[in-house]
């Protein structure tokens, strides 16, 4: 027997998987983006302004349109940069640490963070360090200041690529990753990203985490979709990050800044558009073939506190 069966599933998870046998389709996620379009639009508008528009506009307008020293320009930019990001970080942290466990990962204790929050903190620390290193000299080091997005892509992309191969070879994870406890069979990072963002930021909470787990365990087509998306984003992110990290050192500094801050956003937009198209087609295929494949449960989720 698989060692993951040593830990019981919650009653709600058991019911969801049992119901899958009687359904004409895979276990429902019971979550829709239709009534959240305004919130999503506001969130991504703020992210776009904070991570691309504001830094680029401030840099070029002050660099070419003012008499400020270059050191002073980046002092101004670093003062306002990241405020919305820090607010979102603290908001997520509060939601995860509250006594109410509904936002926390499955089987976790109070004060335990999900993997997205840990990555959030790591990325914020790395980018802040990068900005400090780029401004320690009187003349800012523009190639270094052009690489925050590339750093994020490299970090997240490396995790996606790593879990791609761990999932492919059914390796066990050495530490807890959100709802997956230590020793569980690895799942694509796309699974974890969806679980954490929807579970906390999207209001899906614990119910969504459990339903997502049941869907993943029951549906081969759903697992295939997340596995492919994991590779699509992971290898794409690592390739782009490596390319940009080389390019910013061989072009003029003012050109490098624009490339480093704009190109990753354009790439992410294209990848997101292609992802939406693929997900829609995959979900249609998943429902259409459910009567042929039915539920095919693999690697039930461990619920140990590890």
In the chain, the number of structural domains is: 1
Q: Is residue 106 part of a domain?
A: yes
With respect to residue 304, please indicate whether it lies within any of the assigned structural domains.
no
The pLDDT tens digits of the residues spanning 104-142 come to 999 888 888 999 999 999 999 999 999 999 999 989 999
Contact 103, 205 (CB under 8 A): yes
For 188, the 3-state DSSP assignment is: coil
Contact (Cβ atoms closer than 8 angstroms) between residue 29 and residue 235: no
- Is there a contact between 218 and 296 (Cβ–Cβ < 8 Å)? yes
The answer to whether residue 303 is domain-embedded is no
* pTM for this model (two decimals): 0.88
Model pLDDT for residues 51-66, shown as the tens digit of each residue: 889 999 999 999 999 9
Q: Which of 208, 25, 232 is nearest to 106 (CA)?
A: 208
Helices (H), 49-104: 54-65, 70-80, 83-97
Q: Is residue 252 part of a domain?
A: yes
Kindly give the confidence (pLDDT) of every residue in the chain, 306 residues in length, as a single tens digit, with 9 standing for 90 and above.
Answer: 333 333 334 455 555 555 555 467 899 999 988 888 787 788 788 888 888 899 999 999 999 999 999 999 998 888 777 788 888 889 999 999 988 888 999 988 888 899 999 999 999 999 999 999 999 998 999 999 999 999 999 999 999 999 999 999 999 999 999 999 999 999 999 999 999 999 998 888 999 999 999 999 999 999 999 999 999 999 999 999 999 999 999 999 999 999 999 999 999 999 999 999 999 999 999 998 887 766 665 655 544 444
Task: Evaluate whether residue 299 is within a structural domain.
Answer: no
**Full residue range of the structural domain in which residue 283 is found:** 3-293
Tell whether 97 is covered by a domain: yes
Does a structural domain hold residue 52? yes
Place of tokens 């200041």: 145
CA 217 to chain centre: 21
Residue 23: DSSP 8-state = S
64: how many CB neighbours lie within 10 A of its CB? 8
Helix, strand, coil percentages (3-state) for the chain, rounded to 5, are 70, 0, 30
Using only C-alpha atoms, the chain has a radius of gyration, in whole angstroms, of 21
């Amino acid at each position: 027997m698989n060692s993951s069966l040593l830990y019981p599933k919650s009653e709600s998870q058991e019911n969801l998987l049992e119901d899958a046998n009687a359904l004409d389709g895979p276990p429902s996620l019971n979550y829709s983006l239709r009534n959240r379009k305004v919130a999503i639009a506001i969130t991504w508008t703020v992210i776009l302004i904070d991570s691309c528009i504001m830094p680029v506009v401030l840099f070029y307008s002050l660099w070419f349109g003012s008499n400020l020293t270059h050191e002073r320009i980046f002092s101004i930019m670093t003062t306002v940069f990241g405020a919305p990001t820090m607010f979102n970080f603290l908001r997520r942290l509060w939601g995860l640490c509250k006594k109410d466990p509904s936002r926390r990962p499955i089987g976790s204790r109070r004060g335990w963070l999900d993997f997205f929050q840990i990555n959030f903190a790591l990325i914020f620390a790395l980018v802040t360090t990068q900005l400090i290193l780029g401004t320690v000299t009187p003349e800012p080091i523009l190639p270094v200041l052009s690489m925050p997005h590339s750093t994020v892509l490299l970090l997240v992309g490396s995790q996606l690529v790593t879990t791609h191969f761990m999932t492919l070879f059914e390796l066990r994870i050495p530490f807890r990753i959100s709802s997956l406890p230590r020793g569980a069979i690895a799942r694509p990072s796309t699974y974890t990203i969806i679980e954490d963002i929807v579970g906390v930021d999207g209001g899906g909470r614990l119910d969504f985490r459990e339903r997502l787990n049941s869907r993943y365990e029951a549906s081969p087509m759903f697992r295939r979709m997340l596995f492919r998306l994991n590779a699509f984003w992971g290898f794409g992110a690592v390739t782009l990050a490596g390319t940009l990290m080389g390019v910013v050192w061989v072009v003029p500094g003012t050109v490098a800044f624009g490339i480093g801050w704009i190109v990753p956003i354009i790439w992410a937009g294209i990848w997101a558009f292609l992802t939406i198209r693929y997900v829609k087609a995959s979900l249609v295929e998943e429902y259409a073939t459910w009567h042929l494949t039915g539920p095919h449960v693999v690697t039930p989720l461990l619920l140990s506190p590890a």
